Amino acid sequence: MVSKLTKPWLFLPPLWAHALSPLALRILHHITPPQNISWHALKWKNLFFPNPLGISGGIDKNAINVLDWQHLGAGFIEVGTVTPKPQPPNPGPILLRDTQHMALWNRMGFPSKGLFFVKKKLQRIKPQLKIPLFINIGKNRTTPIEEAHQDYHLCIKELHALADAFVINISSPNTPGLRTLFHPDRLPNFLNSICHTQPSSSFLLKLSPDLSQKELLTTLEIAVEAKIDGFIFSNTTLSRPLEGLPQEGGLSGKPLAPLSKQQLLWAKTFLKSFPEKLIISSGGILSAEDIQERLSMGAHLLQVYTALVFHGPFFFRKVSQVFSQPLKKGEINAH
């Protein structure tokens, strides 16, 4: 369990801490030296990752703190989820924190200032960005599921010049009907249409941790056939290993780790035949030991969210001190 005495922001209500974090990051940027962190560097396609640890989608939804995360030592950035039109969070409670179990619950539902706000932000800062940038995209809450592909197409069309890769998010549990796009009757046409929107772009599919092994392998087969370039394992879960949480909404942090690791093992076995595919592990990565474990399990890159809530924004620096002797550089073979 994390001590609040050494992490004063944990005394704040979670929604307050979440709202104040962008300002705190801006201040840290101006009062701390840049963290040029390099360990286990990786090359994939034409992208260079100075270290394999990045921020997960949902942290910087509107590209407010991209340069701040770079300054703090992230190896890559994922912004979003970005939706075509601006939309507020879901009504009612949207964020809870369980310090004892190092867990977060959220029911935000893609709150976004919209793709044109994000586009303007990224156009201004892209020349200063030295690490890869992923853009996580999703559909607006009011868009019928039958028309969901149109929202993804629009985001890709407007943002392709700014994204090093797009993260296709159809795995959030907080947008009604979204996960039905995983159904084998829908997924092939959906992914094929996505990948043909901008053939020069790279596309990563973010998976739900609640897929069974059979469902996961079917999804991977369809995605590989559609020429998806990589995968993120995984989004938040609808399962409830902890008591006292609402049934709706996604759970992340330490309770998500077993599901995320199980998916990684299932996927890695299947993806041995596709060594060019990028494998990103996310979910319950809270320590240097967790990072080493996921790398040893076959992940190329890693993403954190809950770790930053409970350990603070200097997590990248703390981890790099553990890996003070840089591991051998890696390169993923690409066709």
Rounded to the nearest 5 degrees, what angle is found at the Cα of 160, between the Cα atoms of 156 and 161?
160
pLDDT band at 3 (very low <50, low <70, confident <90, very high): low
Residue 4 predicted with pLDDT over 80: no
Q: Say how many residues make up the chain.
A: 335
Lookup: tokens for 66: 């991209």
Residue type, 227: K
Q: Which residue has the higher pLDDT, 334 or 285?
A: 285
What's the rounded Cα separation, in Å, for the pair 285 and 256? 9
pLDDT band at 222 (very low <50, low <70, confident <90, very high): very high
pLDDT band at 17 (very low <50, low <70, confident <90, very high): confident
**ω before 81 within 30° of 0 (cis)?**
yes
| The pLDDT value given to residue 121 | 95
| The pLDDT value given to residue 95 | 86
| The pLDDT value given to residue 167 | 97
Instruction: For residue 187, give every residue at least 6 positions away whose Cβ sits within 8 Å of its Cβ, in sequence order, or none.
Output: 181, 219, 222, 223
Q: What is the DSSP letter of 318?
A: H
Percent of the chain exceeding pLDDT 70 equals 94
Residue with tokens 């940027």: 29
Residue 60 predicted with pLDDT over 80: yes
Residue 187 predicted with pLDDT over 60: yes
User: Average pLDDT in the 216-245 region?
Assistant: 92
User: Average pLDDT in the 45-55 region?
Assistant: 95
Residue with tokens 């030295």: 130
Residue 5 predicted with pLDDT over 80: no
pLDDT band at 332 (very low <50, low <70, confident <90, very high): low
Lookup: tokens for 112: 């976004």
User: Average pLDDT in the 182-191 region?
Assistant: 94
Distances (CA, A) of 205 to 47, 106, 123, 164, 181: 18, 21, 24, 14, 12
Residue with tokens 């149109």: 150
| The pLDDT value given to residue 329 | 52
Residue 89 predicted with pLDDT over 50: yes
CATH 3.20.20.70 given to domain 8-332: yes
What's the rounded Cα separation, in Å, for the pair 302 and 50? 13
| The pLDDT value given to residue 328 | 53
First to last CA, the chain: 45
Residue 209 predicted with pLDDT over 90: yes
Residues labelled as active-site residues:
172
Lookup: tokens for 215: 């469902």
| The pLDDT value given to residue 333 | 53
Backbone angles phi, psi at 104, to 5 degrees: -125, 145
| The pLDDT value given to residue 325 | 59
What's the rounded Cα separation, in Å, for the pair 155 and 74? 25
* CB of 206 closer than 8 Å to CB of 212: no
Mean pLDDT of the chain: 90
Residue 1 predicted with pLDDT over 70: no
Q: Which residue has the higher pLDDT, 332 or 230?
A: 230
User: Average pLDDT in the 267-278 region?
Assistant: 93
Residue 255 predicted with pLDDT over 80: yes
Residue-by-residue DSSP string for 58-120: TSBTTSSSHHHHHHTT-S-EEEEEE-SS-BPPPSS--EEEETTTTEEEE-----B--HHHHHH
User: Average pLDDT in the 284-300 region?
Assistant: 93
What's the rounded Cα separation, in Å, for the pair 93 and 121? 29
Residue 335 predicted with pLDDT over 50: no
Q: What is the pLDDT of residues 108-151, one digit of tens each?
A: 889 999 999 999 999 999 999 999 999 999 999 999 999 999 99
Which of 88-92, 212-216, 316-320 holds the top average pLDDT? 212-216
| The pLDDT value given to residue 334 | 43
